[in-house]
Structures are given as structure tokens and as C-alpha cells.
Structure 1
Amino acid sequence: MRKLSDLILLVVGVLYPFIVYFGMDHVSTPVFGLILGSLWLVRAPALLRQPGGRWMLGITLVYCAVLAFGGEEHLLRWYPSLICALLLAAFGLSLKYGPPMIERIARVSEPDLPPVAVRYTRRVTWVWVAFFALNGTASGVLAEWGPLSWWTFYNGILAYSVMGVLFLGEWILRQRLRRRINKAPMDGAAQRLASHPWVAAAAGGYAGKLGPGMVVALGTAGRLALLRHGRAGLVAELGQHAAGDDALSTPLVWRFVDTLPEPSRVDALLRAPLPETAIVLGERREGDTCTIDLELPLDLACFADHFPDAPVLPGVLQVGWALDLAAPRLGTPRTCRAMDGLKFQRLLRPGDRVRLVLRHDPDTGRLHFAYRMDDAPVSSAHLRLDGTHA
């Protein structure tokens, strides 16, 4: 019931200027006052438990009572100014007696705000204090001296447009501040990681909602450690080294690469999901045979689950990649109904470079694939396809 009343009161507040504009000829002022007062009374239990809720409820009920018993249509226009005055008082008093209103709202989702964020919330609270003061004044001037159409346009369209711009601008600034807050400890963590024997280079960044992250270019020893300990072991060791004496400097998102991207691309890489396919380095085709050079990314998604302590490319992915890579090049389907002569002769590990040879025989409806690394066979099979594309 309370949620419904809150929603109704919100809708009434947003549409109030239009309700007044179109309803004054059909609904009397006392009825307006009774309806509005009833909605506030339904919200009363919740307001009484909130700081400042008692006097906010009292003032609005007095206003509704004046509407109900006074009956002056002109007073209907002062409701937006009254709400602005109440919000101005709530936000302004929170600046004096603390904590600022925006800080209270922010701590609901992020209880542990750093000092720089606390200062930011105070400045944002001041911005809203200024907005409520100016908006309430402008609404009051139009209520007293302006035409009803001007008052309706300002309170029903222009004021909400300005609020939307403020919300959008504050959101953009907040994201920049969040990135700066999270990136600062990551810069220190990247410097500490640079001294680790497994790391060739490192760059800290911000992965959005996932939090701070680190992009690491692995050295020769780091690649060997990835093969021996897997992604989990690598993250555990490097995370402890990155944090040093400050646990808050531990990256939450990790990406392992051959070389670091440009600084402007670090955040985008951290936000992107782990790759699920190999990197195509080059390819050539001769008739019904296609040869593709591939590289397995160091942080291929399947390596986190398939033998996490000793990552290996699953055989089912080798077959799936062959079908997916052949489809756009040879016009074959992405599914098969049987496999003949399937062989797995060598393991594929993170960072390996392989050559995939695909040969399609349209007459028999078969696709032959063979992975080779350094001229040594890795895997091969004949796939009996469901059909062929034109």
C-alpha cells in the first residue's frame, strides 16, 4: 500500500501542473486539497520515521487544509514552490548539521565512501540547493504574476528538463570521479607489479561496475607460470604483490596480454569479456583448401575452467572452431552429424600459435581439419556435414 501511495504521489507531483491546467474547470479547489491531503496522509507513517519528515508532513497537510477549506484557485499554483522550499530546507540543513543529503543517498549503495567522494557529495548537495532555490523562486513568480499557460509550461516541462540535464551532468562527473578514485591505487599497484619477475609491463584501469582492474603483459617467466599454475594461481600471486600493504589496491579484474594496449584502451579492455575464440593472424586459400594461422589468447575464457591449474584447449572447441572458421570461407554448415578418424596428438596451451588446414570435399559432404604446431600434428578429423551452403 505504501509503495502504491508513493508511486501515485510521485505521478501526481510530476503531472500536477497539467492536472491543474486541465482540471480547474472540472474539479473544485477543495476537492484538489482533499485528494492531495489524502495521499500525503497515506505516506505519513513512512515520513514520520525519516529525519525531518514530521515538519515536512505537517507543512504539506496545512497547505492541503487551506486548499480544502479556503477554496482559492490561485493557491493551487503554489504547490511546486512549496515542494521546492521543503527540499531546499532539507538539503540546506543537511549541509549545516550533516551529513549532506547526497552523501546519505550515496552511502546507501556505497557505505565506505573515500574522503574525495565525501567532498564531491557535498558540492553536489550545494548544486541542488541552488537549483531548488532558483526553481522555487521562478515557479512562485509565475504562480503570482504569470499566465497559467506559462506556469504550466515551466513547472511541467522546463523545470523537469533542467533537472534531467543536472542528473545527466552529475552522472557523467560521478563516473569520471569513480574512475579517478579507482585508478589512483591501480597506478601504484602497476608500479609494484613491474618489479615482479613474471611481469613485463602492467597498466591499471577501471572496469566500470566490476571495479578497478589490471592489464598485465607477461614475460617469459609469467607465461611459464600461467602454464604451470593456471589463471587462478597467476591472479593469486600477482594480486598479493600488487596490493603490497594496502588490500584496497588489489585489482578485481585481470587481463593477460602479449603487449600492453594504448593507455586510452585499457579501460575498454578491462570491461570487455574474456575472448572465446582464437586470434586470426593470417589466411590463404587454394581451391577447396583454406589455411589459417591462429594464436590462442593468454586469457582465453575456456582456460579458466578447463583444467584451471594447467590450462588446456578442450577438444570440443577445436572441432567447433574448425566448423565456425570453415563456414564463411568454404560455404559449409556450422554443424556436423558424425566424425571419422578423430585424433588428438598434442595439447594446446595459452599463447600457442597453430596452423589450421581446412579442406572441403563437396562430393562426399565432408570437411577435413588438421591443426599443426611447428609442423607437428595437434589434432585432426573428418567431419560428415549435414549439408552444404551455396
Structure 2
Amino acid sequence: MRRLSNLALLLVGVLYPFIVYFGMDHVSTPIFGLILGGLWLVRAPALWHQPGGRWMLGVTLVYCAVLAFGGEDDLLRWYPSLICALLLATFGLSLKFGPPMIERIARVTEPDLPPVAVRYTRKVTWLWVGFFFVNGTASGLLAKWGPLSWWTFYNGILAYSVMGVLFIGEWMLRQRLRRRINKAPMDGAAQRLLSHPWAAAAAGGYAGKLGPGMVVALAPAGRTALLRHGRAGVINELGQQAAGDDALSTPMVWRFVDVLPESARIDALLQAPLPTAPRVLGERLDGDTHVIELELPLDLACFADHFPDAPVLPGVVQIGWALELAAPRLGTPTTCRGMDALKFQRLLRPGDRIELTLRYDTVRGRLHFAYRTGDAHYSSAHLRLEGTDA
């Protein structure tokens, strides 16, 4: 019931100028007052415990009573100005007696606001104080001296358009501030990581809703540690180094790379999912065989689980890559119905650079693939493809 009444009061507030404009000839002012007062009474229990809610409720009920018993049509046009005056008083008094209204709203979802965010919420509260003052004044002037059509246009369209611009602009500024707040501890964490032998370079950033993150270019010792301890082990070790004595400096998202990207791309990298495909470094055609040079990303998604302490590229992933890379080059399907001569001879690990050879036997409908580096062979097979009769 409370949600329904809140929704009804919100809709009445938004549509009020149009309700007055089109309804004055059909509904008497006392009826307007009774309906509006009834909606505020239904919402009374919720307002009773909110800051400033009691006197806001009292003022609006007095206004509704004047409408109901006074019956003057011109009074209907003062409702938007009254609401602006009440909000102006609520927001303004919160600046004097604290905490500012926007800070109270922000702490509902983020109780532990840092000092820079507290200062920001105070500025935003001042912004809304200014808006309520200007908007209420303009609405009042139109209610007193302007035509009903002008009053309706301003309160029903123009005022809400300005509010929309303010909401969007403030949201954009808030996102920038959030990135700055989350990134600030990461700068110190990145500096601490540089003293660890596993990190050649590091840069902190913001991973959106996931929080602060860190991109680390692994040194040779770090790459060796990744092979021996897995992604989780490296994150645990570097996380302790990054945090130091400040738990807030612990990155929530980690990315491992060979070389740090440009600073402008750090946030995008942290917000992107872990890669699921190899990096194609180059390719050539050797007769009827495609030779593709590949590099396995240090952050390949499957390495996290296969295996946590000793990352190895799964055989099924190797087969899947062969099918996917062959399809656009050889015109073959991306599924197979069987395989022959399947061999796994060596392990493929994070950071490995290899060659994938692909050859399609059109007569037998088979795709021949092999992963190798020079004379060293990692895996190979003959795949019987879907849609072939062989």
C-alpha cells in the first residue's frame, strides 16, 4: 500500500501541471484539494520518521485544506512552488545542521564515504538548493502573472528537462569522482609493487563496479612464479605487497601483461573480461597449409581453473581454437564429429609462443592441425568435420 501511495503521489507531482490545465474545467478545486490531501495522508507514516518529514507533511496538508475549503482556482497553480519551497528548506537546513541531504542519500548505499566524497555531496546539495530556489521562484512568478499555458509548459516540461540535465550531468561527474577515489590508493600500491621482483611495471586503475584494479607487467621471475603457483598464487603474493599496511590499497581486479598499455587504456583493460582466445602475431601460407603464429595471454581465462596452481591450456581448448581459426581461412565448419590420431605431447603454458598449422583435406573432409615450435610438437589431430561424408 505504501509503495502504491508513493507511486501515486509521484505521478500526481509529475503530471500535476497537465492535470490542472486539462482538469480545471471538469473537477472543482475542493475535489483537487481532497484528493491531494488524501495522498499525502496515506504517505504520512513514512514521512513521519524522515528528516523534515513532519513539518513538510503539515504544510502540505494545510495547503490541501485551503484548497478544499477555500475553493479558489488560482491556488492550484502554487503547488509546484510550495514543493520547491519545502525542498529548498529541507536541503538548505541540512547544510546548516548537517549532514547535507545528498550525503544522507549517498550513505544509504555507501555508508563509508571518503572525505572527498563527503565534500562532493555537500557541493551537490548546494546545487539542488540553487535549483529549487530558481525553479520555485520562476514557477511562482508564472502562477501569479503568467498565462496558464505558460505555467503548464514550464512546470510540466521545461523544469523537468532541466532536472534531467542536472541528474545526467551529476551522474557523469560522480562516475569521474568514483574512478578518482578508487584509483588514488592504487597509485601508492603500484609504487610498492615495483619493489617486488615479480613485477617489472604496474599501474592502478578503476574496474567499474568491481572496484580498484591493478595491471602488472610481469618480470621474468613473475612469469616463472605464474607457471609454478598459478594466477591465484601470484595475486596473493602481489596483493600483500600492494596493500602494505593499508587494506584499502588491495586491488580487487588483477590483469597480467607483458608490457603495460597506455595509461588511457588501463581502466578499459581492467573492466574487460579475461581473454578466451590467443593473440595472433602473424600468419603465412605454406603451400596448402596455413601457419598461424600465436601467443597465449598470461591472463587467459581458462588458466584460472585449469589448473589453479599449475596453469595448462586444456586440450579441448586447443581443438576449439583450431576449428575456430580454420573456419574463416579454409571455409570449414566450427564443429567436428570425431577425431583421429589425437596426440598431446607437451604442455602449453601462459605466455608460450607457438605455431598452429592448419590443412584441410577436401577429399576426406578432415582438418589436420598441429601446435608446434620449431621441431617441438605440442599437440595434433585429424578432425572429422560436421557436414562431410568421409
2:43 aligned counterpart, secondary structure: helix
Separation (CA, whole Å) in 1 of partners of 2:374 and 2:70: 93
What is the Cα deviation at residue 342 of structure 1? 0.8
Aligned-partner residue type, residue 285 of structure 1: L
Counterpart secondary structure, 2:260: coil
1:328 maps to 2:328: yes
SS at match of 2:383: strand
User: Is residue 356 of structure 1 aligned with residue 356 of structure 2?
Assistant: yes
- How many Å apart are 1:375 and its aligned residue? 2.4
In the other structure, the counterpart of 2:24 is: 24
Alignment of 1:97-246 (within 5 A): 97-246=97-246
Match status 1:2 vs 2:2: yes
Superposition deviation, residue 328 in structure 1: 0.8
Q: Find out whether 1:71 has 2:71 as its counterpart.
A: yes
Q: How many corresponding residue pairs?
A: 388
Tell me the CA shift for residue 288 of structure 1.
3.9
Task: Tell me the residue number matched to 1:369.
Answer: 369
Identical counterparts, % of pairs: 83
Report the counterpart of residue 291 of structure 2 in structure 1.
291
Output the amino acid matched with 2:201: A
Aligned equivalent of 1:309: 309
The answer on whether the counterparts of 1:295 and 1:352 sit within 8 Å (CA) in structure 2 is yes
Unmatched tracts of structure 2, length 5 or more: none
> What's the CA shift for 1:171?
1.1
Equivalent position amino acid for 1:75 in 2: L
Measured after TM superposition, the shift of residue 257 of structure 1 is: 0.2
Q: Which amino acid aligns with 1:133?
A: F
1:84 aligns with 2:105: no
Separation in 2, partners of 1:75, 1:288? 87
Counterparts of 2:203 and 2:142, CA distance in 1: 55
Secondary structure (helix, strand or coil) at the match of 1:280 reads strand
Letter in 2 for 1:93: L
| Equivalent-residue separation in structure 1 for 2:4 and 2:287 (angstroms) | 69
SS at match of 2:307: coil
Structure 2 CA distance for aligned equivalents of residues 202 and 68 of structure 1:
69
Q: Secondary structure at the match of 2:12?
A: helix
Does the 8 A contact of 1:288 with 1:330 survive in 2? Answer: no
Alignment-derived partner of residue 385 in structure 2: 385
- Compute the TM-score of the two structures, normalised by the length of structure 1: 0.98
The residue matched to 1:205 in structure 2 has which SS? strand
RMSD: 1.0
Distance 1:251 1:298 in 2: 18
Cα distance in 1 for partners of 2:327, 2:202 equals 38
Unaligned runs of 5+ in 1: none
- Match for residue 271 of structure 1? 271
Q: Secondary structure at the match of 1:328?
A: helix
Cα shift at 1:286? 4.3
CA contact (8 A) 1:359 1:367 kept: yes
The answer on whether the counterparts of 1:306 and 1:312 sit within 8 Å (CA) in structure 2 is yes
SS at match of 1:140: helix
Conserved? CA contact 1:192–1:241, under 8 Å: yes
Amino acid aligned to 2:149 = S
Say whether the 8 Å CA contact 1:288–1:361 is kept in structure 2.
no
Whichever residue aligns with residue 38 of structure 1, its letter is G
Contact 1:56–1:86, Cα closer than 8 Å, also in 2: yes
